Structure formats: C-alpha cells, structure tokens
Amino acid sequence: QVQLVESGGGVVQPGGSLRLSCAASGFTFSTHGMYWVRQAPGKGLEWVAIITKEGGIDYYAQSVQGRFIISRDNSRNTLYLEMNSLRVEDAALYYCVRDAGTTTGTKYYMDVWGEGTTVTVSS
Amino acid sequence: QSALTQPASVSGSPGQSITISCTGTSSDVGGYDWVSWYQQDPGKVPKLIIYDVINRPSGVSNRFSGSKSGNTASLTISGLQAEDEADYYCSSYTRRSTLLFGGGTKVTVL
C-alpha cells in the first residue's frame, strides 16, 4: 500500500542540526512533488517546504528559509529535510506529505501523509 | 506570510449545516483555485476532504462541499454528524509558489 515513513526526529539543542528522512513505498516516488508540513504541540498545521518531482525546484516557508533544505533521492525513494540553526519554535511533529499531482504536474494539494517524526528543541 | 484566517471554532446540532470560512488575499485564495481542505481527528493524521476549491476525493462524504468567493473560501458540512467533530484546515497556493494553511477550526457537534 501507499506509505510514507518518517525518521530522524529527536532532541536537539538550540542552534543544532538534524536531518529528517522519509521513506516512500507503494507508488512511483519520482512522479510526485513532496512536502514537509509541521505541527507544534496543540497548534495548527504549518507548511514548511516543497520539492518538485525531479528535485530541481524547492520553496520554503519564510520561517525556515535559509535554515532548512529539502532534498530527495529518487533512486532510494527517499525525501529529506536538513534542519540547521534550530530554534525552540521549530519543535513540532514533522509530516512527510505527497502532492497529488503526477506526470501532469504539481497539484498543490496533499493526498498522502506519513505519521510524522517528532523534533524537540531544548537546552 | 501570515496564516489564512479561519474561525477558531464552529458548532452545530446534528443534522444542521455549518460553514467554515477561510480568508486570504488576492495573492493566495483569491488568485488561484488551488484551495484544499483537510480534516484532522485528535491524535490523527490530516485527511484531504476537498481539493481545487470544490472537488471531493473518492470516498469522502458528499455532505462536505467547498466554494470560493473573492478572497474567501468556504467549507460546508451538511447534515452534521457526531463523527464530523474534528479540526479542519484550509490550504492555498500563493503567488510566491509557497503554500499557506489556515489556523484551523474546531468543529463541535452539540
């Protein structure tokens, strides 16, 4: 079945770095744009980043621009999020999410979500 | 960029209809038909219920419907049921090629 499984979350000090991974299975990973979306405890959803299916184009929320990098390895069916200069406000459950578009292009809506991986930023 | 504006809470009795608004600007909601809605039960993963303003994925109840007027999109739940209690989020593409979520609306069935 279609599945996204995140890993790499953990506890990190402010200013530290962390790399999240998302293993995709059950679909042709290379034909879908992908997102990272986060949700702080008790708070709403926040869009973090998008990467196109080829990996050539990426965009970021202003809150993470310049600190986070989204990337993908289509040969490994894996999505990544490199997080640097982490702040207390970056603490959240990070979801790996699939864009519904395929060869017709990005559709800008999210049809498959992983269960998330938790990032805690604390000294 | 600020989140899209949604009411914090909406409530209704079983069988009633409720509408959740999602207000943005001409640079996001008003400028594109890439508006989607997600339902999130407590402790669960969000679920897509409306895409491209008005479309329902297969398997989603036809009691959910979407619309848009100007810079405001809306989600209507008809024939409200106890199982509809959840948090609802709108999302829109923006002029900067990014996406925005609304702050979320908690729906309570009285």
Joined together, the tokens standing for residue B103 give: 């702050």
Q: Is the pLDDT of residue A54 over 80?
A: yes
Band of pLDDT at residue A21, cut at 50, 70 and 90: very high
Which positions in chain B have a beta carbon within 8 angstroms of at least one beta carbon in chain A? 1, 3, 32, 34, 36, 38, 40, 45-48, 51-52, 57, 87, 89, 91, 93, 96-104
The string of pLDDT tens digits covering residues B3-52 is: 899 999 999 999 999 999 999 999 999 999 999 999 999 999 999 999 99
pLDDT per residue as tens digits for the range B59-71: 999 999 999 999 9
pLDDT of the residue at A31: 94
% of chain A with per-residue pLDDT over 90: 91
Residue A103 has pLDDT above 80, yes or no: no
Give me B106's structure tokens.
Answer: 């908690």
pLDDT given for residue A109 in this prediction:
94
Q: Which residues of A touch B47 (CB under 8 A)?
A: 113
CA distances from B64 to A30, B68, B73 (A): 32, 14, 13
CA distance B80 to B84: 7
Given a cut of 90, whether residue A107 has pLDDT beyond it is no
Alpha-carbon span A52 to A33, nearest angstrom:
4
Least confident of A25-29, A104-108, B2-6, B80-84: A104-108
Q: Among candidates B15, B101, B63, which has minimal Cα distance to A97? A: B101
Contact between B39 and B47 under an 8 Å Cβ cutoff? The reply is yes
Q: Is A106's pLDDT higher than 90?
A: no
CB A16 within 8 A of CB A122: no
Which helix (H) or strand (E) covers residue B76, if one does?
strand B72-77
Q: What CA–CA distance (Å, rounded) separates B19 from B74? A: 6
Q: How far apart are the first and last CA of chain B?
A: 35
Instruction: Say if the Cβ atoms of B45 and A116 lie within 8 Å.
Output: yes
pLDDT over 90 (residue A55)? no
